[in-house]
Chains A and B, each alone.
Chain A
């Protein structure tokens, strides 16, 4: 129980970085974003992603547009904005530092 909880917390912490990272190359449809995240076992339930997407969008890091998809509803595509790209860059740097720090610490033990 304790393990699951800590795991979930850690995942949640890096999820924001991962969402931005997934969108780093091209605009993506929500379901594709989810697919990528699920493949890498980052997301336990899909529901966590939506509030984060909308919040990042409202904070100006993400933008979106609609695309017609044959039959059925139009699809919502999210993409990185300029501030989003800068933000991703900073987060990437920090992640590398963090990664190094953790590895460093573990190797000393």
Chain B
């Protein structure tokens, strides 16, 4: 009594002896290798499997208990081997030749429809990794309950992109051996014995082509190893890239600059967007940005999993679909950007002067206001602006330009020249009035704030501020060392560079500033 196994071929259950099973699965595997293309090949394979099932069914009806090796051989004789199948009118013959040197029994990831709970993703994966599906299912359910929503998302994606094992050959492939080094060696050895045999039989005429196919096999094995390596890298990059990107966008955190560096190394995207556009536009722009950056990352992930698990998909449809969505998102993002340009159409400016009550002061000391220590510098910068935390609120801060000019008046004065843009002049005027800048004078010292900030809810509309300190002719001004870090634009008669004017006392003459020795 031989050991038998139970198999299912296209809905028919058979008891089959183990050696017969071996033979049959090799045959179906061969067929699957041969018909490895798209739709049409799948259909041919299904038709053939149906016929195999029918022929075996007939044998059972003749009164046999289990399928034996002879019966399988009989069916194989009747059906013919893949090389007899060539239909000259399509490219199958060329294809078949190209396929000959492939390694047998490749393992592919499929969804296992026969052991499924939902879509057969867990059962398919467990078959692939050779573990009990229960572990994966428990892991998955636990992850979902822990609130890791991503796992549900991943499940859905796999459900869509991983094909279900439809034919028996695919079910065999699902369990197939992996292209490990040992298997490669084994198949090469098999090939070598065949070479020796054919050498003995044919006197070596075929040895050239056989030897070549051994070479291709080794190359394929190496290729497989590289594919798994590159695929794994792609998976890791795509997966972590996507997750970090999503988190950083959702939380508006600065995690982003660690992940998509290269473009703008230190940009807090959602934070800055919030200051540029209205909230509705922010969500839209963010969604588009997620698509524009997320889709390429998902494609990486997809390509990686394909390289490692080798499931078959309709690459063209998925690729075109992804590219289409990506392109639409990119164009929409550009459109949103162009719409934003409208907000910068009109320019408006205003000037405010404040005379400092310093009638007896001969020398005015200009320093940076260091008491406003509630301003912590933040790393996010764009254009001339920075995002800073002020009183625990994120505000947009700009760097004013500092000038020193002469005045015919008898008192020191500070002139603030504000500038902003808007849809129209009223809008520009409104944006202009949002510029908040503080300075203070005490005795003979003028304290300038390092930043000007934009008022609550104020958007960035190219606001600019020039702080001009008016110095009466004949009086002196000392430029504090702290001002070195500010944006200075001060003319002087000594032709000294702006940054080097600090820490010195200057005299205002009718012609301009002169260094006081």
Contacts and interface: CB of A to CB of B under 8 A. Distances in A.
Contacts, number: 65
Contacts of A53: 47
A53 B45 CA distance: 12
B393 interface: no
A50 B48 contact: yes
A75 to B, nearest CB: 8
Q: Which residue among A52, A58, A73 has the maximum number of chain B CB atoms within 10 Å of its CB?
A: A73
A46 B81 CA distance: 10
Interface in B4-54: 10-12, 35, 40, 43-44, 47-48, 50-51, 53-54
Contact of B10 (A31, A34, A50, A73): A73
B166 to A, nearest CB: 13
A48 B50 contact: no
B51 A51 contact: no
A64 to B, nearest CB: 10
B370 to A, nearest CB: 81
Contacts of B88: 12
Contacts of A12: 88
Contact of B90 (A34, A44, A55, A76): A55
B87 A45 contact: no
Interface in A69-96: 72-73, 76
Interface in A32-60: 34, 44-48, 50-55, 57-58
A18 to B, nearest CB: 14
A55 B40 CA distance: 7
A53 to B, nearest CB: 7
A45 B44 contact: no
B87 A47 contact: no
Nearest to A43: B80
Contacts of B90: 51, 55
Interface in B65-82: 77-82
A30 interface: yes
Main secondary structure of the interface of A (DSSP, over half): helix
A57 B40 CA distance: 10
A72 B47 CA distance: 15
Interface string A2-18: 00000000001000000
A47 B215 CA distance: 30
B92 interface: yes
Contacts of A50: 44, 47-48, 51, 85
A94 to B, nearest CB: 16
Contact of A45 (B35, B43, B53, B84): B84
A44 B40 contact: no
A88 B27 CA distance: 34
Nearest to A58: B40
Interface string B73-114: 000011111101111111010000000000000000000000
B75 to A, nearest CB: 9
Given A30-B47, A44-B80, A45-B79, A51 B12 contact: no
B10 A46 contact: no
B47 A73 contact: no
Contacts of A51: 35, 44, 85-87, 90, 92
A55 B87 contact: yes
A46 B79 CA distance: 5
Contacts of A45: 77-81, 84-85
B43 A72 contact: no
B57 interface: yes
Nearest to A8: B84
A57 B11 CA distance: 24
A50 B87 CA distance: 9
Contacts of A48: 80, 84-85, 87
A5 to B, nearest CB: 12
B48 A73 contact: no
B87 A52 contact: yes
Interface of A: 12, 30-31, 34, 44-48, 50-55, 57-58, 72-73, 76
Given A50-B47, A55-B89, 17 more contacts: A30-B47, A30-B50, A44-B84, A45-B80, A45-B84, A46-B78, A46-B79, A47-B81, A48-B85, A51-B85, A51-B87, A52-B87, A54-B43, A54-B44, A57-B43, A73-B12, A76-B50
Interface of B: 10-12, 35, 40, 43-44, 47-48, 50-51, 53-54, 57, 77-82, 84-90, 92
15 contacts: A45-B79, A47-B79, A47-B80, A47-B81, A47-B84, A48-B80, A48-B84, A48-B87, A51-B87, A51-B90, A51-B92, A54-B43, A55-B40, A55-B90, A72-B57
The 9 closest A-B pairs by CB, nearest first: A45-B80, A47-B80, A51-B87, A47-B85, A47-B79, A54-B44, A45-B84, A50-B44, A50-B47
